[in-house]
Chains A and B, each alone.
Chain A
Amino acid sequence: MKLIRSLILCNIFPIMVACNTVNSVVPVPNGRPGSPGFQQVVTNGWLNYKANVTDVHEDIVNGDQKRVQVSVFSNQSSAQSFSYRFEWLTTGGMHVDSIGDSWQTQRIMPQETIILNSIAPNSTASTWRLQLSDTNLPLSQ
């Protein structure tokens, strides 16, 4: 019986990992007054509990480069990890290469709000997309 249970666990685990889909956040320009100014596309509900975007701010640095700052909240009761990356796009929707394209890991404590930020690689990058992914180490969390 123990063997069967462990075999079932072994086979359910890869299925759980395979469900690790990405959540996205994009800015909503000229949103209605009182609207958050961003839109979250949630495909992974569990990830959204531990990495929920609560607000977004933008400004200009270095003369003409856009900077974005995103607040992320975890409502979990234990420390969690997730990965994220920012992608930058031109007004025409073309991707602009950036070293921030790589996924980065982030630890978040229970009920903590952390700040993620990114700067446009150059002045042609005018809009952005934040992608959030669960880490591959669920057993270590």
Chain B
Amino acid sequence: MPTVTLEAKRLTKRYGARAAVDGLSFVAHQGNVVGLLGPNGAGKTTTIRLLSTMLTPSTGEFSVAGVPSNRPAEIRRRIGVLPESAGYPANQTGREYLRYHARLFGLTRAEAERVATRLLAEVGLDGRTESRIASYSRGMRQRLGIARALINDPAVVFLDEPTLGLDPAGQRRVLGTVRTIAERGATVVLSTHTLPEVEEICTSVLILDRGRVVAASSVGDVTAAAVARRTARLRVPAVCVGQVREALAGLAGLRLDAVDDDAGALRVSLGADSDGSCDGIPTELNDALRAVLRMDVPVLSFEVDGARLSDAFLTMTREGAR
């Protein structure tokens, strides 16, 4: 059984009558990547600030790497944080910035120099170590921020929107770094609005809405529990659309709608009388795919609606109610 590195019990933060975080309880283990999701104002940043000791809880308690919340300085020794909208001193170089933070964690000048050099290389900034941060791109600053969060070999790393505003290549690079951090045994709490990222690298998710936990489980379980999958999007070459219509015409309980004939995009819907299911998920859509494949039609994509985390997210939060 992996070690519990992060545990929150009924954690609440109130601002007057408003609860920013309300009764948050969860457990994360060593090596987990926990996706922290929720609409704007759901309490994600407040949760990270509570767990990183920047804010004091109104009620409840938590522990990080076995250290209880009433010892904040010790917790700060064991965590690394990339805050939301972190600022960077424009006049310092990347190396100087990391060296300074390493020394704040008690490293000697020589140790700080070594750690800064290693981390800059790990996040791919080794070619810009002596450049002023003012000249860094947004992606480079985010990677520098992640390097700073790792300066003390933390047991738990909190990343608040690490890929915000990055291009796809920058996002991929940051996600690769997150994966590496978890593989080394640290627990990562990843707050993000980019749900495909969560599906890709998170072992579990925590969905917040109005400060309350509405789901806390593995990505698969959360998705399965939330959504009834009754439609699928199929894309084939435009010239094959006729063949697909022919293949699916003989299947009972299915309806085929063209979303865009010219692009070969089609939607397959289940009839109301569908009853074949596996763990509550209808299986007739598999029959549709099989029929298309039997006709030897090249399938460019086949995606069951409601099988994605974003569908679960919208179902569970007020975002979906809008």
Co-complex (A, B): no
